[in-house]
Amino acid sequence: MEIITLGSGCFWCTEAVYKRLNGVDSAVSGYSGGKTREPFYREVCTGKTGHAEVVQVTFDPSVVTLEELLKVFWQTHDPTTLNRQGNDVGTQYRSVIFYHHDEQKELAEKMKSELDSSGIWPDPIVTEISQFDKFWPAEDYHKDYFDTHGHEPYCNLVIKPKVEKFEKAFSGQIKK
């Protein structure tokens, strides 16, 4: 198994996508990249801790490659908006890849450069690529948020369309 830590806006959205990807053993919402020890949700939401909402993805590279995981990352959020995804605004919603070893860093930087020069997006990619330091799991009520709160407006308006887009684009890689 291998681990990578990814931030692409609201961790409820990111978790909902990755937990459906074949080869992913777990997708755990949490916080990374900040200065406060043992942060909690309301504190992170202020933007003062420096943490990003992230999902720590544990995956089997013999089933899903790092490149495939990163393709999902790039295609399921807007990597050109600084500290924002849709109506979620603040440094806690930044686009970030926390790499756990040099191969992850090299592939993330290579893909970012290739995508940036491809012109897919009209604006430059602002995704931060930083060395992983510490991961703090989010409070239990965040776990499987979309699956347990799918009836709520945020889930229907924001998460559901993102999951549907992912399932359409990566239909051959969805868990059965």
For strands 95-99 and 128-131, give the pairing: parallel
Classify 137 as helix, strand or coil: strand
Q: What is the pLDDT of residue 73?
A: 98
Phi, psi for residue 57 in degrees, rounded to 5? -105, 120
Rounded Cα gap, residues 88 and 125, in angstroms = 18
Distance in angstroms (rounded) separating the CA atoms of residues 136 and 133: 10
DSSP secondary structure, 30-97, as one string = EEES-SSSS--HHHHHTT-S--EEEEEEEE-TTTS-HHHHHHHHHHTS-TTSTTEETTEESGGG-EEE
List of domains in the chain: 2-173 (3.30.1060.10)
For 135, half-sphere exposure in the C-beta direction (CA atoms, 13 angstrom radius) is 21
Mean pLDDT by 10 residues, the chain (176 residues): 97 97 98 95 94 98 97 96 90 97 98 95 96 97 95 94 95 92
Looking at residue 176, what is its pLDDT? 81
Is 155 considered catalytic here?
no
The model carries a pTM of 0.95
Residue 87 confidence (pLDDT)? 84
pLDDT at 120: 92
Contact 4, 71 (CB under 8 A): no
Selected catalytic residue, list 10, 13, 45, 155 = 10
Q: Give which of 17, 26, 9 is closest to 165, Cα–Cα.
A: 17
Please report the pLDDT score of residue 66 as a whole number.
Answer: 98
Q: What is the pLDDT of residue 94?
A: 97
